[in-house]
Structure 1
Amino acid sequence: MKCLFFLHIPKTAGTSFRKGANTYFGESRVCQDYGKFSPLTSPLIKKWGSGEVDGWSFYQDFNKEGYQFFTGHFHASKYIDIFDVGQMITFLRDPVDRIVSEYNHKVRHQGYKDSFESFYRSRENINRQLRLIGQSNWSQLGFIGFVESFEDSLLLLNKKFGINIPILRQNIASNEVVHSRGLTNEQLSELRALNAKEYEFYNCARTQFDWRLHLARDSARFTRGAATAWENGCLRGWAISEEETEAALLRVKYNGEVVAETKASEYSPIYKARGLGRRGFVGFSFDLTDIKDLSSIEVVVARTGQPLPILPSLTRLS
């Protein structure tokens, strides 16, 4: 099988998942990038990170090592143009719960002394999950699971990739300094306002996960994709039905009524380079010149009714 790339967002059950992957694949088949100073980081990554090797040479050396699982704390953009994005996976967590958990971790293990307010107001901790994945990248990832549904996430992931990573419980926190249930209304309001973009992304990704779970229970296929551009009345995007080579049939609904239909079969060199599938023949376009309000449209998969996300940048143009 192709190597899986796990974007380990801090405090999203990633340690449990990584330990399970180590058990399944074997540590010699696992490559890690936790920063150049971390003892967990593999020698190949440290060599590449020093600037001595270009991306293509790194790709060749990586394949020679026979790795089957790659993980670490890194931005998706670091590797997304080197490896197939369809092999990239991650887990998300409610933004407030994740921030609280990371603060507690830094206080307990890294000697963090500043207040909780100082921590969550710092730029690096605002919309962090979204920034690590990338607003234009998240819909392309092969799989996004959720801490709040960890067992279902792992079941779906294993089924999708034909593997059997076990459920292990690691790095369980105790003696928390701050607890989500103990936050004041003022703190919660500020946290949600600061991380509004991440909550929009989180909820959109969660909707897709719930559809994936629903379709799996009905033995139906999930479709990855998104509407990504609105240009001169034309809505463009991409879609690919998992476990199927035929182009996905899509429909546009306006105020609940079907107004257009097409297959996601247009060629795009960008989608080909990203490894989205079907050799890049996954694009679609709808002529919606007469429709001015994008907030009233849906793009759905004809076979199942599954809605595709319309990325936030589009809704702001409507």
Structure 2
Amino acid sequence: MVKPIVFVHIPKTAGTSFRWGADSFFGKENVCRDYGKKSLETSVIVRDWLSSEKDGWIFEREFIRQGYQFLTGHFNAAKYIDIFDAGRVITFLRDPIQRIVSEYNHIVRNTGNEVSFESFYRNPEYINRQLRLVGRRTWTEFGFIGFVDAYQESLSLLNRKFNIEIPYLHKNIAKSERVEPQLLSAEQLLELRSLNAEELDFYDRARIQFNWRIRLANADQSFVCGCVTKFEAGRLKGWAVSEDVDEAVLVQLRVGKRVVAECKANEYRPYCKARGLGRGGFVGFSLEVCDVVGPDDVECVVASTGQPLPFVDFDWTLPSI
């Protein structure tokens, strides 16, 4: 049985186009929706679950029994990532500033709310919103992260990865905008970038991984999911797993361009097993850092391709001298 795909639908990221494409491919009756208790779009199975004790095991069992193959909605990934395999969770990202402007325009256009743009983007609910929906610590676990400005290419890569054929549709295009990104003042841009600094950094790092996914796909090489998670007792630790092969990934530690250590990512990580990240959880690696260096001086890469593994929620504490 093929496990379902979970789509974190971040507002104003081409999610409606993608969701309609999913309806077309899977069949609307096989697509479950969670847009909150008050939304008419939310499926009955989700309403019942939200009104119960929220037993994830029971929800998954009922979800599968009813034949659902796809779950979508404006929810935090954390809501379902422990129920379904993390590697089946997907999303699309958009330039953070453009997305904020687009969501503001959408709200004004559809609700008549006359809140000022500045009041809107200063509201904590809309600051770093993409990052909060995806998860600061969990985005590298996602099976796929695509990008709105490369939507067709993203869709092609996603279909290839999951062996599906969601069609390209272009829906929900606004005809007029109250605020346009290119007309923002220098002061507004500066404040937006300051408020959303975490998300801008996350967006850039996720884009690097997406670009590597394209590069490796074109070279018929395997993309590796993974990250560096901690520096402990003089060792860098993390996890890595290939999307296409079962062999353990060979990870290298580089200082500058020099390879100083390497090992296979085959250590057991209970957390990775619980998340369904592959190889039964035997995906961890641990590399000794011989020199006293800072995080900007080192990188962990996949030995066979050079693909870098991002540092996630990382606390670097240098050893005392």
Smaller-chain TM-score bracket: over 0.9
Aligned partner letter, 2:183? G
Letter paired with 1:270: Y
In structure 2, how many angstroms separate the alpha carbons of the residues matched to 1:305 and 1:151?
A: 26
Find the counterpart in structure 2 of residue 98 from structure 1.
99
Alpha-carbon distance in 2 for matches of 1:63, 1:312 = 33
Runs of at least 5 residues in structure 1 that lack an aligned partner in the other structure: none
Does the 8 Å contact 1:85/1:275 carry over to 2?
A: yes
Q: Equivalent residue for 1:203? A: 204
Of 289-298 and 162-171, more deviation after overlay is shown by 289-298
Tell me which stretches of 4 or more aligned residues in structure 1 moved more than 2 Å. Answer: 289-292, 312-315
Alignment-mate amino acid for residue 4 of structure 1: I
Give the root-mean-square deviation of aligned CA atoms: 1.1
Identity, % of aligned pairs? 56
What residue is the counterpart of 1:9 in the other structure?
Answer: 10
AA paired with 2:256? Answer: N
Name the structure 2 match of 1:115: 116
Corresponding position of 1:244: 245
* Alignment pair present for 1:305 and 2:302: no
User: TM-score, normalization: structure 2?
Assistant: 0.97
What is the TM-score of this pair, normalised by structure 1?
A: 0.98
Q: Secondary structure at the match of 1:282?
A: strand
SS at match of 1:314: coil
Q: Structure 2 matches for 1:30-41, cutoff 5 A?
A: 30-41=31-42
Note if 1:127 corresponds to 2:131.
Answer: no
Match of 2:209, as an amino acid? Q
Matching of residues 1-318 of structure 1 within 5 Å: 1-314=2-315, 317=317
- Cα deviation, residue 289, structure 1: 4.6
User: Aligned AA for 1:95?
Assistant: P
Report how far residue 80 of structure 1 moved.
Answer: 1.1
1 CA distance for matches of 2:291 and 2:55?
48
What are structure 2's unaligned runs of at least 5 residues?
none
Structure 2 Cα separation of the partners of residues 53 and 252 of structure 1: 42
In 2: Cα distance, 1:71 partner to 1:236 partner = 33
The alpha-carbon deviation at position 57 of structure 1 amounts to 1.1
User: Is the Cα contact below 8 Å between 1:232 and 1:289 reproduced in 2?
Assistant: no
How far did 1:312 drift? Answer: 4.5
Contact 1:233 1:290 in 2 (8 A): no
In structure 2, how many angstroms separate the alpha carbons of the residues matched to 1:6 and 1:109? Answer: 24
**CA distance in 2 between partners of 1:182 and 1:290 (Å):** 49
Bigger drift between 155-164 and 305-314 goes to 305-314
| CA–CA separation in structure 1 for the residues paired with 2:314 and 2:118 | 29
Cα shift at 1:42: 0.3
Distance 1:53 1:189, change over 3 A: closer
Aligned residues: 317
